[in-house]
Amino acid sequence: RRHVRMTMNAAKLRKFYADIPAESPFLYYPLHVPADFALTIRSPEYLDQLSLIDFLCRIAPMGRKVVIKEHPALIGGLPAGRMGDLLHRHDNLVLLSPGINNHTVLRRAEAVVTVNSKAGAEALLYRRPVLALGDSFYRDSGLVTVIDALRDLPARLAGAAIPQEEDVNRFLQDVWSASVPGELYDVRDENVAEFAASLLGVLRSEKG
């Protein structure tokens, strides 16, 4: 039933899909997978992403678009009715086609607002200001503007920090050095075995 509902939602949303705004500067909010662990456990206060998007549209600086894109892992996961209502109520809201590459959007964005999406880390590669609302691995990196309460977001938008290339490279190298092998969406036997070994190694080191 869930997948049928998603298919119907995706079909209804198709008429709203648009390209990246050609001229208008925009804030980019990459949609998280609805009801994913990243929201339900790590940042439950932002579980209702459409309410958050409504807020972004209302506080975006004059002349700024708010651009959103569905997570490629769950296209059609958000209710088409509410999404359509938002698009009708806010002329500064743009729903991108989910087929557009995320890096293409990040290169064009003026700033990125995210809860804890990995797109926030990817935005650092393009030296885009990132406003981090939730708990993420880059929250305490010193490279993003941390928003502890949503009411602070409007005031922090104008002064969001632009990350410096050397600092970004240093942080990402530290993350890479602390990482272990394992691909989440690769179900080949060899990857599953490698992933399991990595998880066991981390657990043993935590116990030690």
Prediction pTM value:
0.86
> Any residues with CB less than 8 A from the CB of 98 and at least 6 apart, and which?
17, 69, 70, 72, 75
Mean pLDDT by 10 residues, the chain (208 residues): 78 89 91 70 79 95 93 79 92 94 95 93 96 92 94 91 95 93 89 94 83
Place of tokens 């932002």: 46
The whole-number pLDDT of residue 35 equals 61
The whole-number pLDDT of residue 12 equals 85
The whole-number pLDDT of residue 41 equals 64
> Any residues with CB less than 8 A from the CB of 60 and at least 6 apart, and which?
27, 66, 92, 157
The whole-number pLDDT of residue 77 equals 77
C-alpha span between 51 and 89 (Å, rounded) = 13
User: 163 is written with which tokens?
Assistant: 């990350």
C-alpha span between 10 and 74 (Å, rounded) = 10
